[in-house]
Structure 1
């Protein structure tokens, strides 16, 4: 990749983050009109990636990057083929319209600038995810989508429902992210590859690896949670607590399709196995049926659309798992069609709510004359969602049935699943597009009228694109569908389907789908009541299970905390020193590393004198009648050690020890004078015996460890290194000082920080004023 083009691609990837930084300032200055300026960023990104369409359509790929962690051969790299380029165009193109839509939808909102920052951060994270080549950059952007979606879903953080939905999304997708990380590590171990392009070029290496199933389960754990596959689907409808621009963007082109992107991206390396072609269709087909049935139950426009998004993600996973060329073509066409009609319908739902004051479909009607542009956009999108010609959704549905069409018992099962799922999605599409607009005018909380250009521009543009792309299907297939299908399949695929119907079994299945959808739409109220009764009979569901799991974790953590955090300092100290004693004794005992006991040393009288002083100090500590005396007596031990350092020829170390001991005693004594201390401890004998045993075990353990170390052959390589390089590198002749200041300067800085924090805490204690007893015997201020 040419250096100029590489720099431009890198700029396109960081541009959303730069725009996010500028968003609050621009919003303060320009108010909601800042949307027009901020939309320039995603529009530029869209034009940049659109400029690569001809290159990618010609069969080439575009890659580049920069070294990130050279020692680990990790790069900040990107890889563009038909799959990643299509996602990049959807993210930036729909993102441009969403930014404009946000300016109209949240006009006058006091936190509009913060919202623009969050949505642009989210855009940048998703953009980085789909073009990432390096496993590490993929994971970083993957987790960043979870974090930014948490901020967006919980944007209205004063509402409990928003906070719950945000936490739920973060927990579910965060756990999936950990699963993905483990899966990427397993892939690295199995193949030695650290980049997706290398993995895709490795052929059957992953499929033939003994770690294939482990990697598959872990990777699918990340993909299924992110793309809300059953039974992890519950977080996605709850995410509707976010403002409608977030819902429209999240459901059409971004986060929820991240899992689908990952599955499609890994299909050439993981697909073609029995596990792949069983797990994905089963989970995808189940998600399709569950999503559509739950959508029928809803009356909130956003929730109806949210559950059909769950269903759509299911059909994408199902088709990718089936693995045939036709199934891949169907998945590719449906992904593009879904992005266009679902983005439109979510924005339509937002306009209806914004202008009428309600999203309840049972309380809406007759808005066609008041909102003609919005109605036109909704109708075009619903026709595409229903799979009717001449819309892109029709192409997708025809190709889905061409891939299935009752080839055998296995495909026959999923043919029935697809027919039922597509029929119910037609019902929801037309329920959202027709019921609010047709029929007699229903009184709404607000006097409904057409929204501003910022509100209807996005849905109208996407709905129109769904029509134009189908009418110009040859061009769309050349630049988008065929390169994307080839990337997913790992081989060249040419998509040829057009809007001209051909009499065949897929067309018959399409007609059957439409007829079934019309019947259910006609009896929608009865269908809604039936599903509601079924759900009431079932009762428990994953959403409720999530709350039960969280409550269970809280109860367990509370119980564990009560046990291990009793609030008694002596318990904490005892447990800590028991752990230290075990850490010292267990390895030496288990591995037979106890030292040989030395003979009685022949020490000079003054060294014996120092040892005697230390013993006297120990006795003073043990038999002190109050804590203050014990603390002062404790300094005797440190002074004795300092004397030994001096006698053994280390005056600088001795001076340091004297200073530390003196300051420790002074500071502790000052702190103790501010506390109310009992004259002496009155503890039972068993506690004293336990303390003696623990102290003896720790002391003996350290003594034996030191003896064992001194009995080992001395390795002077480190000493020689410091002697040789202390002056040459650090220009210091005092080796100890050079080690502290230069070679381990960061450690020293950390120690200084610890001492400073401790000093501040002690200062706070010293400044605490102890309440004096009042005249009546009660404590006074």
Structure 2
């Protein structure tokens, strides 16, 4: 599995070069990588799904912290990995046709590949920290994909909104994962899931659960974080089909399913997860009313579908988990196909407005077929897989402890609205009446209809022959429940109350389709309520954050260096001083050793120099007095047997004094620009900072928290680093990375100075050349 991840990153490096060589044909070439992953994963299915054995890989990463590159391929990981790779290959092929001629098509292939690798990392990771790293990588790559057409303000705003919401949830998730690992005593997810009882009985369970749920809810667009998903539809259609229907938005659902053995089974879990899921189910369905854009219609029903999956995971139990897994698979098939259909329709006609589209069946026959098959599954009609998912959903509600009337009523209402949307998307553009489309419809190439036909066809075939997907579904269910549950799927269950609920849903959906125009007119109420919705709260919060940032910039970043230094010193004194005073036991006065006379003299001279410097008016006297402090430090190094440091300090101090003399000599005479009260405040801050550092040094030397490491350096410099100069060995070997960082900072500063100098000189040369040309022209006119 590590090979899969690494091969994806390595392949991404060569994508720009390959795209320049193969151009428009690149989509077919780049799809070979996920197809290869798909075949490899399918080859592991007999072991993972047939024998129920998880494939694990463990490679040490940071052994001292217990962090490792741990991967695990079980039934749940297999389900999501197959969806990620299979749909990813079809989307890449689709993108080759959809973005043909686009100046950023190569960038699309690069970003979609990186996202695919990140999503595979999420579903295959067996360590919490590793999962979080890939989790955040999906947020970053999705930000770049949503803002793909960055010249448009809407694309940039939607990308930032998605990033802020999901990354904010990611911060909460990180805290929750850290707490979870602390409670379980391990970062391995497989180990954590085996200690569910101990985790649920811990005092940290509630905090860890709430933080993890925030991360999952933001990622999977649960209420009230749902608003970012429809706005992200400004992204190109391949991005919407892949990220916002089949993969990224299901990452939160995957996380809930993955941690179900550890976190589920409590009343808090069921109350929070099922309530939020049910609310999202209703909100997604209701907000779809009144939408006319094909992609926004599909986006709001995606929100409702994600709510359904979350709701089922919150209910728990064998049947609900089984229904959730079937729903995940069915939704990936029909929603991925319908998004690709919407893109093909848009490419052919130039619009996604449902009221302007129609009569495309003869022009786009394969796209029409895919739309019909996917629409049947989305509407919950037999014999598609969506019908099985809906039946299992109603059956789960019948066996749950949730109020039957509330849950069944909401599910029937949402199902009816979903039926209407499915009919609008799958039927009206192809048999309705065309009205004023931007350009005459034209046929599309095979890249446009291949993916939709395959995905919608799979939804139909699996619905007719569910035994084909039973091992995959059973493996995922067993991974979630950590049990050997047997799964049986059938298209017909006889005449039952569940069938009656399905027929009622279809009847209400047919009635809504017959009067959808009036229904859509009623949906306009959501636009009037928008100023009080979560999206408005996001805007208010973002604007408030901007105003706060502007205020603190005016206060703290006012351009005065003395103010910056004073703020830093004062903040440090207050925070650290409070800590010291609140722990008076630290302030022991023993163990400092004897103070020798010459040490006392040197320190007194340095203090006297520091006191005198602010009162001097002569620049040269000030520089010379400052040198006394530096040379006093040289004497201290010599007293404590550090000749190397003394020599370095002496050279630096001498050079600094010379430079100060050369520079200060050309500065204007000293002038007091601040009044006496301000200088008195500066004095207090300076005294406070000095006293704090003195107290810290005395405390550390008198009562060290850890043994001195000087003995370790003295004993191991020659043995470990082959060096007799302990100071040099410390700088080069023991803290070599620190020294490398300092060198890097200096190098970057030098490059920056060089660039500024070159830029300034270049402007001066242009300026003087312009003056010379003007002078020559004036001279010629004078002649």
Is the shorter-chain TM-score for this pair beyond 0.5, marking a shared fold?
yes
Matches within 5 A, 1:138-153: 138-153=131-146
Corresponding residue of 1:280: 273
Equivalent of residue 106 in structure 2, options 113, 130, 145: 113
Equivalent of residue 487 in structure 1, options 479, 485, 490: 479
Deviation at 1:96, TM superposition (A): 1.0
Deviation at 1:756, TM superposition (A): 6.2
Corresponding residue of 2:409: 416
Corresponding residue of 1:56: 48
Corresponding residue of 2:69: 76
**8 Å Cα contact 1:626-1:680 kept in structure 2:** no
Change (3 A) 1:616 1:225: closer
Task: Answer with 233-242 or 491-500: which moved more.
Answer: 491-500
| Pairing 1:680–2:671 present | yes
Deviation at 1:392, TM superposition (A): 0.8
**8 Å Cα contact 1:79-1:131 kept in structure 2:** yes
Structure 2 gap segments, 5+ residues each: 765-783
CA distance in 2, matches of 1:277, 1:600: 67
Q: Could you state the TM-score of these two structures normalised by the residue count of structure 1?
A: 0.90
CA distance in 2, matches of 1:713, 1:101: 65
- Render the CA deviation track for 1:580-613: whole Å, top value 9, x for unaligned: 6557866665516264899998847x996x7897
Deviation at 1:34, TM superposition (A): 0.8
Task: Answer with 441-450 or 505-514: which moved more.
Answer: 441-450
Task: Answer with 515-524 or 658-667: which moved more.
Answer: 658-667
Corresponding residue of 1:561: 553
| Pairing 1:184–2:171 present | no
Corresponding residue of 2:440: 447
Deviation at 1:682, TM superposition (A): 4.3
CA distance in 1, matches of 2:654, 2:201: 68
CA distance in 1, matches of 2:347, 2:397: 41
Corresponding residue of 1:548: 540
**8 Å Cα contact 1:115-1:152 kept in structure 2:** yes
Equivalent of residue 512 in structure 1, options 501, 504, 507: 504
Matches within 5 A, 1:390-401: 390-401=383-394
Corresponding residue of 1:777: none
Deviation at 1:307, TM superposition (A): 0.4
**8 Å Cα contact 2:634-2:647 kept in structure 1:** yes
| Pairing 1:722–2:718 present | no
CA distance in 2, matches of 1:98, 1:760: 43
CA distance in 1, matches of 2:755, 2:102: 43
Equivalent of residue 30 in structure 2, options 27, 38, 47: 38
CA distance in 2, matches of 1:764, 1:150: 31
Deviation at 1:275, TM superposition (A): 1.8
Deviation at 1:678, TM superposition (A): 4.2
CA distance in 2, matches of 1:183, 1:599: 47
Secondary structure at the aligned position of 2:60 is classed as strand
| Pairing 1:351–2:344 present | yes
**8 Å Cα contact 2:196-2:263 kept in structure 1:** no
Matches within 5 A, 1:465-484: 465-477=458-470, 479-484=471-476
Deviation at 1:625, TM superposition (A): 2.3
CA distance in 2, matches of 1:715, 1:501: 71
Change (3 A) 1:459 1:649: closer
Corresponding residue of 1:374: 367
Equivalent of residue 627 in structure 2, options 629, 635, 638: 635
Secondary structure at the aligned position of 2:70 is classed as strand
| Pairing 1:459–2:452 present | yes
Task: Answer with 738-747 or 575-584: which moved more.
Answer: 575-584
CA distance in 1, matches of 2:435, 2:749: 68
**8 Å Cα contact 1:251-1:342 kept in structure 2:** no
Corresponding residue of 2:494: 502
CA distance in 1, matches of 2:38, 2:639: 76
Change (3 A) 1:320 1:667: same
**8 Å Cα contact 1:277-1:321 kept in structure 2:** yes
Equivalent of residue 744 in structure 1, options 724, 735, 740: 735
Change (3 A) 1:539 1:594: same
Structure 1 gap segments, 5+ residues each: 1-8, 772-781
**8 Å Cα contact 2:200-2:262 kept in structure 1:** yes
Deviation at 1:753, TM superposition (A): 5.1
| Pairing 1:573–2:565 present | yes
CA distance in 2, matches of 1:240, 1:765: 42
Deviation at 1:146, TM superposition (A): 0.8
Corresponding residue of 2:770: none
Change (3 A) 1:502 1:234: same
Change (3 A) 1:191 1:370: same
CA distance in 1, matches of 2:302, 2:177: 27
Deviation at 1:49, TM superposition (A): 1.1
CA distance in 2, matches of 1:161, 1:733: 63
CA distance in 1, matches of 2:528, 2:125: 44
**8 Å Cα contact 2:358-2:434 kept in structure 1:** yes
Q: Could you state the TM-score of these two structures normalised by the residue count of structure 2?
A: 0.89
**8 Å Cα contact 2:48-2:55 kept in structure 1:** no
CA distance in 2, matches of 1:310, 1:469: 24
CA distance in 1, matches of 2:503, 2:213: 34
Secondary structure at the aligned position of 1:107 is classed as coil
**8 Å Cα contact 1:95-1:123 kept in structure 2:** yes
| Pairing 1:237–2:230 present | yes
CA distance in 2, matches of 1:399, 1:736: 71
Deviation at 1:310, TM superposition (A): 0.2
Equivalent of residue 168 in structure 1, options 119, 136, 161: 161
CA distance in 2, matches of 1:242, 1:537: 26
**8 Å Cα contact 2:357-2:432 kept in structure 1:** no
Aligned residues: 758
Matches within 5 A, 1:571-650: 571-579=563-571, 591=584, 593=587, 595=589, 603=597, 621-625=613-617, 627=619, 629-643=621-635
Deviation at 1:668, TM superposition (A): 3.3
Deviation at 1:691, TM superposition (A): 3.4
Task: Answer with 610-619 or 325-334: which moved more.
Answer: 610-619
